[in-house]
Copies of this chain bind each other. A is one copy, B any other.
């Protein structure tokens, strides 16, 4: 068969370049746009113009991809300020802001140990800023602040999503869950809870987070400065 009628070799389509960073960035874009459920290896691959199996040269499982995503965000999380109290407060705020930028992070935080380089760098910066608390206190103190932060942002995001799910504005919210709760409270079986919901001042998310964090930091301060 002569050259002319022989088809060209199937063009080897230039083999899109790839790297863990590109993969993770694509996955984060998808998650930011449409939530964690929108992150599938197939979607990530097509976003990169690549076959799904190609990704397995860079990661061994989807879980590893999620780990890489979380670690990538940790690059944005650093404590600032002087003294342990400011360091811990800024750490908690940084985590919360990161979660606001990447809501899916709330689903992953605390779900598995974070041992990636950026997460470790964050821990290092925090520990370095805690020179004024004893070495034996540093770990439990940081653990407590992290635990509070993770739980608080999870609940905050959960509420935000629930509101959005009922139709995006407050009108719909009242039309769906509102009546259910109203009816439940009307039975009179939850008097203390009903009283709080009815009579207590309602705080917004920022205040709620700050107040809880203040509780915790106050408690830490009492034990750290007077051991």
Residues in chain A within 8 A of chain B (CB atoms): 107, 109-113, 115, 120-121, 123-124, 127-128, 130-131, 135-136, 138-141, 143-144, 146-152, 154-155, 158-159, 161-162, 177, 180-181, 184, 189-193, 195-196, 199-203, 207-208, 211-212, 214-220, 222-223
Please tell me if the beta carbons of A110 and B212 are within 8 angstroms of each other in the complex.
Answer: no
Q: Which residues of B contact A146 (CB under 8 A)?
A: 151, 155
User: Please, how many angstroms separate the alpha-carbon atoms of A148 and B139 in the complex?
Assistant: 16
Please tell me if the beta carbons of B218 and A115 are within 8 angstroms of each other in the complex.
Answer: no
Q: How many copies does the complex hold?
A: 2
Please tell me if the beta carbons of A215 and B223 are within 8 angstroms of each other in the complex.
Answer: yes
User: Please, how many angstroms separate the alpha-carbon atoms of A195 and B136 in the complex?
Assistant: 10
Q: Which residues of B contact A196 (CB under 8 A)?
A: 127, 135, 138-139
**Given the contacts A124-B193, A148-B151, A154-B150, A136 and B200 also touching, CB distance less than 8 Å:** yes
User: Please, how many angstroms separate the alpha-carbon atoms of A155 and B119 in the complex?
Assistant: 15
A138 to chain B, nearest CB (A): 5
Please tell me if the beta carbons of A200 and B144 are within 8 angstroms of each other in the complex.
Answer: no
A77 to chain B, nearest CB (A): 15
Q: Which residues of B contact A211 (CB under 8 A)?
A: 140, 144
Please tell me if the beta carbons of A110 and B216 are within 8 angstroms of each other in the complex.
Answer: no
A226 to chain B, nearest CB (A): 11
User: Please, how many angstroms separate the alpha-carbon atoms of A148 and B146 in the complex?
Assistant: 8
Please tell me if the beta carbons of B218 and A113 are within 8 angstroms of each other in the complex.
Answer: no
Q: Which residues of B contact A136 (CB under 8 A)?
A: 200-201
User: Please, how many angstroms separate the alpha-carbon atoms of A195 and B133 in the complex?
Assistant: 14
Q: Which residues of B contact A222 (CB under 8 A)?
A: 218-219, 222
A189 to chain B, nearest CB (A): 8
User: Please, how many angstroms separate the alpha-carbon atoms of A162 and B111 in the complex?
Assistant: 10
User: Please, how many angstroms separate the alpha-carbon atoms of A222 and B87 in the complex?
Assistant: 22
Q: Which residues of B contact A115 (CB under 8 A)?
A: 177, 180-181
- What are some 30 contacts across the A-B interface (CB < 8 A)? A110-B155, A112-B158, A123-B190, A123-B193, A127-B196, A130-B192, A131-B192, A135-B196, A135-B199, A136-B200, A140-B203, A140-B208, A143-B208, A144-B148, A144-B212, A146-B151, A147-B149, A147-B150, A147-B151, A148-B151, A148-B212, A150-B155, A215-B216, A216-B216, A216-B219, A218-B218, A218-B222, A219-B219, A219-B220, A222-B222
